[in-house]
Amino acid sequence: MGLRDRIGRLKEGLTRTREGLMGKIARLVIPGGAIDEALLARVEEILIAGDVGADVSAAIVAAIRERAQKERASDAGVLPTLVRDEIRRQFVPGDEGGESDPFHLPPGRPFVILVVGINGVGKTTTVGKLSAAYVQAGKKVMVAAADTFRAAANEQLEIWARRAGAEIVRQGPGADPAAVAYDAVSAAQARGTDVVIIDTAGRLHTKVNLMEELKKISRVVQKSLPGAPHEVFLVIDASTGQNAMQQARQFGAAVGVTGLILTKVDGTAKGGIVLSISREMNIPVRFIGVGEGIDDLQPFDGKAFVEALIAS
Amino acid sequence: MFDELSRKLEGALKRLRGQGKISEANIGETLREVRRVLLDADVNYKVAKKFIDDVQAKALGQDVLTSITPGQLIVKLIHDELVALLGTSAAPVTFGATPPSVILVAGLQGSGKTTLSAKLALYFKKRGHHPLLVAADTYRPAAVEQLRTLAGQIDVPLYEEAGENAVALARGGVIHARQNARDLVIVDTAGRLHVDEEMMKEVEAIKKAISPNEILFVVDAMTGQDAVNTARAFHERLNFDGAVLTKMDGDARGGAALSLRATVGKPIKFLSAGEKLDALEVFHPDRLASRILGMGDIVTLVEKAQEQLDGEKAVKLEAKLRKSQFTLEDFLDQLQEVRKMGPLSQVMGMIPGMNRLPAGATVDEGALTRIEAIIRSMTFEERRKPQLLNGSRRKRIAVGSGTTVQDVNRLMKQYEQMQKMVRTLGKGGGMRNAMRGMKFPAGN
């Protein structure tokens, strides 16, 4: 898939975003005008409005100010370029939109993905979409219903698994989630499954016992298959504010998050907090969710993401 | 996280100390820090800006009470303003004249509507009502099963109808309630994005079909800057009566509540904290204000200081300081004033920055008691003229107070240091500075 296609798809996902970050900044600029403090203050406000956070917004603006001075760029016309560059620099290197296939798997089967996050961010939906994407990429997929807590979570995942064409391993409500995960990984090893995606119950990062439970799931999976889980995706709702940083820290400390999935990007929320998370924790954003359809999950691509925002 | 914020604010407040009136020049930095605190709490940047401007307008020219610093006064002002903005008292849920009353629950996906619907049912069931839950989420896979399970847990009937659309379902639920003598209908709707035209039309249609007595908008406490957009959009379509803040058991500071109040002016009615179905509380504005500010309990401290510190005594002391006549008697007075405010450990905990004494270090209340005992074992003359204290007097005082001569010596040394400090401060500063300079003994 070429860059152009990706931009096209991303744009599509962002069509509902009324005013893109960069669109606003482009409109701020009066051609021939100067890059002054008032303009920079507006840029900072726009970043804050996108949930980028006060500290990171101030840092980005400081970097822009410094660069404008160093390059003697007094004309406001170059501002969008500077802003775009500085935003991109916040993302983890290598997240810039390579042409690599996000569904390419390293050797060794099964490839185990653990999906974690707080309540209501869209974990189960994301697991459904993710399994559909792997099935479409020609992989044999199994989902593990390790959310044994929330009422009807099993049923919800089962519907998604059926839609996606994936197998499902489940137990009754109240079962030990680690046991469900263990069963799934064992079954996958026996059946030659390519990918195991473990859906976990939503848990607030402040709940010590629930975080311990999550650690146990991870430990047990590793016992079943050394090296697993190969990926731990933290799902973050784009409308979340600064608390997402705490979520990333706590889940990161508990189970070592390897990637972020930003959901509900089809609303007006910008999800700017992922910039702070990328910057502080060096975790790449891997996918974005842009709707409730089974195909509404896209590989994240820092470059295309920013470009699509500029174009809106 | 709270500690970190307190520290930030503390830094700005330091520069305010020793100033008698609040002026634009001396609160600028404090207000910038407060803005940061609000932004970190996810208060919308426009709301934060207007809020800060209002506080500044109110604060300018205010006299600073002798007992507190200007910084603390500002924080109290901000807190009071926040409480006022968040709504002063709990707003009740509206019930209709003729049963059944209808509550419509709406909001974004994942905000916690289904759980809240069950919690509301339990809340009102406990208060003598006979609720009926209606599962009008026809989109999310297994949403109906979820509500059915929850309804079973709290033993409340559920109205569902496979294959019906949400509008017909909601209408059917109300009719079912009327026929079955249920006096309260709680309609759980599908989560929807405020920019999804079709879905917003659907919820409007539901409203029209069932004319609810109460529409509750459900907001995740972790919501960021976008809270203003969603609140406005839902308000335009539904003119909701109140909001419920969910996931309050996390550590998000819930600035979204302030954005919501400032944008649409509707009250917050409940706080939902946890997955247990009885974890629903009526909203308390003051608690949320403290949480948004992340300030521990400085407001309580300021209020206590205002109540407890005897104004007249402070004036007398200030005069003495100017003459550099700070005696052991005054020291005892001061000690007692401070102790009136509560156990020292608690008082210290209320001061930003003081709540992070080195790990393991605790405030030694006993040391204060010993100091009091020592001073009380002195004659009045000794208290006024400490230079009289020779070896035998010290021995007598130690025996009288149940301490040792070393304890007495230590106190006298501290007192001498304090006098030195008072002498320097007494010339320029006032009572506030002198008080601040006092070192309270801290044990290990």
Average pLDDT of the segment spanning B102-116: 95
Model confidence at B320: pLDDT above 80: no
Average pLDDT of the segment spanning B384-408: 90
The minimal CB distance from B110 to the residues A49, A122, A149 is found for A122
> Which chain A positions have a beta carbon within 8 Å of B229's beta carbon?
268-269
pLDDT digits (tens, 9 = 90+) for B125-180: 999 999 999 999 998 888 899 999 999 999 999 999 888 899 999 999 999 999 99
Single-letter amino acid, residue B442: A
- A28 versus B83: the higher-pLDDT residue is B83
> Which chain A positions have a beta carbon within 8 Å of B255's beta carbon?
241
Model confidence at B440: pLDDT above 50: no
H-type helices in B155-297, by residue range?
Answer: 166-179, 197-210, 227-238, 256-264, 285-293
Model confidence at B281: pLDDT above 70: yes
Q: Locate B210 and state its tokens.
A: 């069932």
User: How high is the pLDDT of residue A230?
Assistant: 95
For residue A191, CA distances in Å to A24, A85, A102 come to 52, 47, 24
Single-letter amino acid, residue B98: T
Residue A109 distance to chain B (closest CA, Å): 30
User: How high is the pLDDT of residue A24?
Assistant: 67
Q: In this structure, are strands A259-263 and A195-200 parallel, antiparallel, or unpaired?
A: unpaired
> Which chain A positions have a beta carbon within 8 Å of B139's beta carbon?
292
Residue B165 distance to chain A (closest CA, Å): 18
For residue B373, CA distances in Å to B376, B394, B397, B404, B435 come to 5, 13, 9, 12, 21
In which residue are the tokens 């069950």 written?
Answer: B118
> Which chain B positions have a beta carbon within 8 Å of A242's beta carbon?
39-42, 224, 252
The span from the CA of A54 to the CA of A36, in Å, is 20
The ipTM assigned to this model is 0.83
Cα torsion for A251, A136, A264, A118, to the nearest 10°?
-20
Interface test with B, best of A160, A292, A294 (most B CBs within 10 A): A292
Beta bridge partners of A112: A196
The answer to whether residues A232 and A116 touch, using CB atoms and an 8 Å cutoff, is yes
Residue A108 distance to chain B (closest CA, Å): 33
The minimal CB distance from A240 to the residues B195, B224, B275 is found for B224
Q: Which fold has domain B3-86?
A: Four Helix Bundle (Hemerythrin (Met), subunit A) (1.20.120)
Domain residue spans in chain B? 3-86, 101-295, 309-435
Contact check, Cβ <8 Å, A240/B39: no
Model confidence at B61: pLDDT above 80: no
Q: Is A207 on the interface with B (CB under 8 A)?
A: yes
> Which chain B positions have a beta carbon within 8 Å of A45's beta carbon?
45
Asked which of A135-139, B281-285, B358-362, B385-389 is least confident by mean pLDDT, the reply is B358-362
Q: Is A123 on the interface with B (CB under 8 A)?
A: no
Residue of B nearest to A173 (CA): B149
Contact check, Cβ <8 Å, A118/B250: yes
Asked which of B207-211, B382-386, B396-400 is least confident by mean pLDDT, the reply is B382-386
pTM score: 0.75
The span from the CA of B376 to the CA of B30, in Å, is 42
User: How high is the pLDDT of residue B11?
Assistant: 60
Nearest to A113 by CA among A298, A290, A287, A291: A287
Model confidence at B247: pLDDT above 60: yes
CATH code 3.40.50.300 for B101-295: yes
CATH superfamily, domain at B309-435 = Signal recognition particle, SRP54 subunit, M-domain (1.10.260.30)
Highest mean pLDDT among A268-282, B16-30, B113-127, B371-385: B113-127
Residue B410 distance to chain A (closest CA, Å): 45
State chain B's mean pLDDT as an integer. Answer: 80
Model confidence at B434: pLDDT above 50: no
Cβ count within 10 A of residue A243: 30
> Which chain A positions have a beta carbon within 8 Å of B224's beta carbon?
51, 239-242, 269, 273
Residue of B nearest to A292 (CA): B140
The span from the CA of A83 to the CA of A203, in Å, is 36
Beta bridge partners of A141: A195
- B78 versus B258: the higher-pLDDT residue is B258
The segments of chain A whose pLDDT lies below 70 read 1-32, 92-100, 303-312
User: How high is the pLDDT of residue A200?
Assistant: 96
